[in-house]
């Protein structure tokens, strides 16, 4: 079966940097997504990685290592509004093309 693992909850301080990890064991790989979901709202797309390396988008960066089955989302200069759930989703190669989601990491940013 497919397995996608993320920490359940993390806390961090406003202004700091936090790294949210995602590891996966899947049969095939065709890209990894990160989504942000505030309580009671829609998950919104943050990033997509299909090749190894770091993709930077403003305060958010996402890293992928396909050989290690590992990704992380890096959030810099944390703001209170970054308190949300962060969902990692892996798209498999062949068969179903629809991403499989992890349980999500609930990030709490405190002053």
Partner 1 sequence: ETGVTQTPRHLVMGMTNKKSLKCEQHLGHNAMYWYKQSAKKPLELMFVYSLEERVENNSVPSRFSPECPNSSHLFLHLHTLQPEDSALYLCASSQETNGVADTQYFGPGTRLTVL
Write out the DSSP string of 44-80: EEEEEE-SSEEEEETTEEEEEETTTTEEEEEE-S--G
Determine if 8 is a binding residue for partner 1 (CB under 8 A): yes
- Cβ 16 to partner 1 shortest distance, Å: 26
Number of residues in the chain: 111
Closest CA to 59 of 41, 70, 47, 71: 47
Specify the residue, 16 or 103, whose C-beta has the smaller distance to partner 1: 103
Which one of the spans 11-19, 55-63, 74-82, 98-106 is the region binding partner 1 (CB under 8 A)?
A: 98-106
Determine if 57 is a binding residue for partner 1 (CB under 8 A): no
Classify 16 as helix, strand or coil: coil
Specify the residue, 43 or 69, whose C-beta has the smaller distance to partner 1: 43
Find all residues with CB under 8 Å of 53, minimum gap 6, and list them.
63, 64
Specify the residue, 75 or 89, whose C-beta has the smaller distance to partner 1: 89
Determine if 87 is a binding residue for partner 1 (CB under 8 A): yes
Chain residues binding partner 1 by CB under 8 A are 4, 8, 30, 33, 35, 40-45, 48, 87, 89, 91, 96-104
């Amino acid at each position: 079966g497919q397995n996608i693992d993320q920490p359940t909850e993390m806390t961090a301080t406003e202004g700091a940097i936090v790294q949210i990890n995602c590891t996966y064991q899947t049969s095939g790989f065709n890209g990894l997504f990160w989504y942000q979901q505030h309580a009671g709202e829609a998950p919104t797309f943050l990033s997509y990685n299909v090749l190894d390396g770091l993709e930077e988008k403003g305060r958010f960066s996402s890293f992928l290592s396909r050989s290690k089955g590992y990704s992380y989302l890096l959030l810099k200069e944390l703001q209170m509004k970054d308190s949300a759930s962060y969902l990692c989703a892996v798209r498999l190669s062949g068969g179903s093309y629809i991403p499989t989601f992890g349980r999500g990491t609930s990030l709490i940013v405190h002053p």
